[in-house]
A = this chain, B = another copy of it.
Amino acid sequence: MATLAPIRVDLLTCGEVFDAPDTDPDRSPRHSIGEVATASGLSVHTLRWYERIGLLDPVDRSYSGRRLYSDADLARLAFLGRLRLTGMPVAQMLRYVELVRAGEQTFDARRDLLVEHREEVRQKLADLHATLAVLDYKIDLYSQLQARSPAGSQPDGQTDRKLSA
Q: Quick check: is A12 within 8 A (CB to CB) of the other chain?
A: yes
Q: Say whether A161 contacts B16, CB under 8 Å.
A: yes
If over half of A's interface residues share one DSSP class (helix, strand or loop), that class is named, otherwise mixed; here it is: helix
A122 — which chain B residues lie within 8 A by C-beta?
Answer: 132
Task: Place the interface of chain A in its size category.
Answer: 35 or more
Q: Name A72's contact: one of B14, B111, B164 (CB within 8 Å).
A: B164
**CB-defined interface of A104-138 with B at 8 Å, one 1/0 digit per residue?**
11011011001101100110110111111111111
A118:B142 contact, CB within 8 angstroms: no
Is A76 part of the binding interface, using a Cβ–Cβ cutoff of 8 Å? yes
Q: Of the 9-residue stretches A30-38, A44-52, A61-69, A80-88, which lies at the interface with chain B?
A: A80-88
**With A86-B131, A128-B124: A161-B15 Cβ-Cβ less than 8 Å:** yes
17 extra interchain contacts, Cβ-Cβ under 8 A, other than A104-B155, A111-B146?
Answer: A11-B134, A13-B162, A15-B163, A15-B164, A15-B165, A72-B164, A76-B165, A82-B131, A104-B152, A107-B145, A107-B146, A108-B146, A110-B163, A111-B142, A118-B132, A118-B136, A121-B135
